[in-house]
Structure 1
Amino acid sequence: MASGGNRRVNQRSVSTRNSENTRYSYIEGNTVRSVQTAPKRQERPVRGNREVSHRARRNRAKALQVNKGYIVFLALVCTATLFACVQFLQLKAVITAQTKEVASLETQLSQLKADNDAFYSETLASVDLDHIREVAINKLGMGYAQEDQVIRYSTKGSSYVRQYRDVPDAK
């Protein structure tokens, strides 16, 4: 059998402080014997109760006093902050109104594009190109151009050429 008195199993010494700043030292493990407290820390000696309390009263009185310049400064800062907030809200309202107007104009543009595409499709569907070719050849005496009658011009980009005068003979 084991002799329980001199046996140490799983021990370690720990030192901590509690909320009153009292230091405790104890041994962690399964054979803890007692809790010991460390003596309280000694505070510094005070010079004179009268002198310290007089200084404390003077500091408290100074802390409670508010300077007029400080009040003016706070008033100016509050006014500037209020002005900046009002300006911000006005600009935000303007931006919101402009965003709504842009959305409305975009909707209107897409509706106009859809209408334009519908009218274009309707116009193309209503034109009979075969009938136009027959009238031009049979009634008006028009014909297809021969290769020697075609004069080619080079243009910049994807533009087209309008003829306002007679085309000079090619040499």
Structure 2
Amino acid sequence: MARKLAKRHAGYIAGSVVTKEELAPRRKGVKRINQSAVPKKTVVRKPSQKRSGTFTREERARILREREIGHELQQERLQNKTSANFFLVFSVALFMGIMGVLCFHYIQLQTKVNTRMHRIEQKKKEIEVLKQKNDALQNAISAALDPEKIFTIATEELGMVYPGDHQVIEYKKQESEYVRQYENIPKH
């Protein structure tokens, strides 16, 4: 039983670095891997090899070579992951750059739209003010063209009177219906 307990706690300390086998402390909260789910390595032992853990020099050298090869393969995999990570980082950076440009362009367009909407509102207000001025001027013109008001102002304020019969001279022109101002008026 003590042998099983010692075997269960035996492991390699410091991750992937090859060190001598020591007794690993048991950690709380760490899940154990189901031994049946992990494929076991088949190690062919020579009859001369003892079970107690002593190995010959050749066996130790072979084990070290296998570990070195495994370590080299792991380093190659890490380098391949690094190039894949570089591509991923480059892709993400490119995507972020494109999104940044699109956001900047969107904000710029939104600013232009808001500026133009503000200008349109200002022009609408200016149009309303001009319409009010035009309506006031139109009312003033309409009031000024009232014949009764014109007569009242002309007779009362300006002192004008209707012309008498002897002041009006009428004549008929034979050539045209229009009277030209620069022609001489005929005398009777």
Q: TM (normalized to structure 1)?
A: 0.43
Which has the higher Rg, Structure 1 or Structure 2? 2
**As a proportion of its length, which structure holds more strand?**
1
**As a proportion of its length, which structure holds more helix?**
2
Q: TM (normalized to structure 2)?
A: 0.39
